Chains A and B, each alone.
Chain A
Amino acid sequence: MTVRVAFGGRGNWIGAALGAIAFAALAAAPWWGGRDDLQLLSEIYAYVVLASLWNLLAGYAGLVSVGQQAYVGLGAYSLFALAILFGVSPLWSIPLAGLIGAGLSIPVALLVFRLRGHYFAIGTWIVAEVFRLSASQVSALGGGSGTSLPAAVVIAIAPTRALRDFTMYWIALLLAAAVLALIVLLLRSRYGLALKAMRDAELAAACSGVDVYRTKFLVYVVVALATAMLGGLIFLQKLRISPDAAFSVNDWTAFVIFITVIGGIGRIEGPIVGTLVFFALRQTLADLGTIYLMMLGLVAIVIMLAAPKGIWGMVAARFGWQLFPLERTVLSGERQQR
């Protein structure tokens, strides 16, 4: 008897179709959108990526990190260092920054993996602080106040401003699509099954032969790679870097966590929904300044208490929707005929 494993059903096609349409429409944005639109969209992509990665770490691998800003900043500083101090082409610096981030994540992981649960969370935060404080000591990149990208490097991205905007926009879109695709593929693979098992019952998973430590390690490093690349890109777009901005807990962790919470942890669609809600709130309420932030905090608390699975979680539970189907169904093949 042969056994096949299939993913989802109708949702499969709807999700794929929606994704394709969305991608095409967004890729065409330089033609239908203005500069501001491109910037906003790039920001949205960035947060979708950060939230999806955090979701992978916390929702699937059970690694609740409050220190991912370490890699955003690390990627950003690596890119600036490569481009300014070593004359590497800024666009090529993006993947290189990713590799540097991934490389440094290995000793970090060896350290922080000694902590569990809540203590792991704060441990990662401290590591990020160490990076931030160390970056302030690097005078070649402006020390505590940071530095701007020199004109020569800016030109190296692309000759005209419009072309620069378009190039970085497309890279942002591509990166977002690639990360989402990678996550879906990962979760559908053998590793994904291991992750889901670990998330649900770590001890049982370990007894079933899942190498829990190695799987978590791998996920952590891969997420660091993607985060560092994104960090490099974000600050390349900003043209300016400073330790407080690059390693900001608020920008790169607090908002990300809120997005993932509101959207729904442990589901791929959650971060997307959460990002859209977050930006809708921001566009309408950001003028209120600190009140806006307080409301964000309040919304997160209320949702965590009332609907711990987030908005998408509620929706999915109610209607059984899945845009990126991950539920595995075992279909048995032909029975052997005697």
Chain B
Amino acid sequence: MEWINVILQGVLVGGLYAMFAAGLSLIFGVMRLVNIAHGDLIVLSAYVALVVAQTLGIGPLTALIIVVPVMAMIGYALQWFVLNRTLGDDLLPPLLVTFGLSVIIQNGLLTVFTADSVKLQAGPIEVATIRLAEGLYVGVLPLLQFAVAVAVIAGLQLIFYRTAIGRAFRATADEPAVAQLMGLDNRHVFALAMALSLAVVAIASVFLAVRANFDPSQGPARLIFGFEAVIIGGLGSLWGTLAGGLILGVAQAVGAHLDPGWQILAGHIAFLIVLAARPQGLFPKVRT
């Protein structure tokens, strides 16, 4: 029973990791860009949520209404003015520019908010639990977080495969020059993709902010978790990314249960095992 609880907690937090990963995976799928500042943008978004919630006196979930569009606009502008210039065959420019961005965001947040860790209060929902079975309790918030994660992945899947903009994303990713012939401005398509990615980041960040304390230095760890989830799940598949997040969450939960100091290490080891045994990931999308 104890172990079931552990695994359940791992699954639920895995949803959060899947959300971190979804934004990363989307960007890489559309424009072959790995955003090193992704984790820092999650943290930035958490601070935005904090400021919005505290200034307006509203709850975190309500704050989403403002935070999501704000982050989406930041994403669009970031891609349009900065990251679009780095795209190309060489992978160094985007890597280095996003690395620079990561440093700027982290230190900017440090300057404005100091290194003190903070947390977004959500009220009584934070401690509410539901009893699933004898001795098996699950928090309402983690459950909600998991449900939202699944909804986000399903939503992205819908956008990519059932809408015109999704077609535009896939076509531009396939053949950017030919996509132009269809009347699609690549710069705009990429900027929309980044906006979407940061919208997902915004949702994830609110749950992150409510779940535990955060501070400006936590970005890189979120990036790594997101990345590990993508690799474990397999490139190119959004549902794979969800699976990857869940597996990572469970690995960490198991590790933490054995020894609290092993939590993150257990996740890394799970990642390395997948890398060693099945480098293409567990559910890769096979492209003909």
Contacts and interface: CB of A to CB of B under 8 A. Distances in A.
A121 B34 contact: yes
A64 to B, nearest CB: 6
Contacts of A254: 99, 103
Interface in A215-246: none
A45 interface: no
A308 interface: yes
A129 B103 contact: no
Interface residues of B, number: 42
A121 B227 CA distance: 11
B224 A301 contact: no
Contacts of B220: 249
> Chain A contact residues: over half helix, strand or loop, or mixed?
helix
Contacts of A66: 36, 95, 99
B268 A297 contact: no
Interface stretch (A21-29, A86-94, A109-117, A319-327): A109-117
B261 interface: yes
Contact of B34 (A119, A130, A134, A257): A119
A294 interface: yes
Contact of A115 (B86, B91, B224, B275): B275
Nearest to B115: A290
B153 to A, nearest CB: 20
Interface stretch (B12-20, B106-114, B122-130, B184-192): B106-114
Chain B interface helix/strand/loop/mixed: helix
Interface in A124-138: 125-127, 129-130, 133-134, 136-137
B104 interface: yes
B82 A301 contact: yes
A117 B28 CA distance: 11
Contacts of B33: 118
Contacts of A117: 32, 34, 91
A156 interface: no
B97 interface: yes
A64 B92 contact: yes
Interface of A: 58, 64, 66, 111-112, 114-115, 117-119, 121-123, 125-127, 129-130, 133-134, 136-137, 249, 254, 257-258, 261, 265, 290-291, 293-294, 296-298, 300-301, 304-305, 308
26 contacts: A64-B91, A66-B36, A115-B279, A117-B32, A118-B34, A119-B34, A119-B231, A121-B95, A122-B227, A123-B275, A126-B268, A126-B271, A130-B272, A133-B264, A133-B268, A257-B99, A294-B103, A294-B104, A297-B99, A297-B103, A300-B96, A304-B92, A304-B93, A304-B96, A308-B92, A308-B93
Interface of B: 28, 32-34, 36, 82, 85-86, 90-97, 99-104, 107-108, 110-111, 220, 223-224, 227-228, 231, 261, 264-265, 268-269, 271-272, 275-276, 279
